[in-house]
Amino acid sequence: MDRLREIAGGRRDEANGQRQWWRNRSVDLFVWLDDAGALVRFHLSYEALGKQRAFVWRAGQRSAEHLDVRGGESDPQHNRAPLLDARAALRVEQGAALLDGLKLAATDLPAAWGPQLVAYIAQAVSGNEGAEQPQQ
């Protein structure tokens, strides 16, 4: 997995804070930060085995959720957005490979929240959702 690069033009979302967009050829990462720069939400999407998947986390959750991204309506007469579906299975080897790649790609993420984000995804990959919450 190549390094994540920030896409300029983050914007303020009153409900969720400052949004930043990071991406590489494999993933799109959206993060929301509060006024102090702390991580309050993230959405990391990627494709595996021909299916779009996502890890989603909000403040207060112990680990990220792993979800399928179901495509929106294919009929041009309907404007339906893609939906997140909780039925996503994550195979152990697939999760480990994604996590290893993310650890390498995340070296350019800010130290204030990058390691925390990787820890939330690691908990989801390991199935260790009852573990201690990563330090903020």
The DSSP-derived string for 95-123 is HHHHHHHHHHHGGGS-TTTHHHHHHHHHH
Q: Are 41 and 57 in contact (CB under 8 A)?
A: yes
Distance, CA of 59 to CA of 39 (rounded, Å): 8
What pLDDT sits at residue 136?
A: 47
Distance, CA of 18 to CA of 14 (rounded, Å): 8
Its domain, for residue 51, covers 5-76+83-126
DSSP letter at 90?
A: -
Q: Taking residues 62-67, report their average pLDDT.
A: 80
What confidence tier does 2 reach under pLDDT thresholds 50, 70, 90?
confident
What pLDDT sits at residue 91?
A: 53
Task: Give strand pairing partners of 46.
Answer: 27, 53
pLDDT at 75 over 70: no
Higher pLDDT, 98 or 7: 7
User: Residue 135 domain-assigned?
Assistant: no
User: Residue 17 domain-assigned?
Assistant: yes
User: Residue 38 domain-assigned?
Assistant: yes
pLDDT at 19 over 70: yes
Average pLDDT of the residues of the chain: 76
Overall number of domains in the chain: 1
Does this model's pTM top 0.75? no
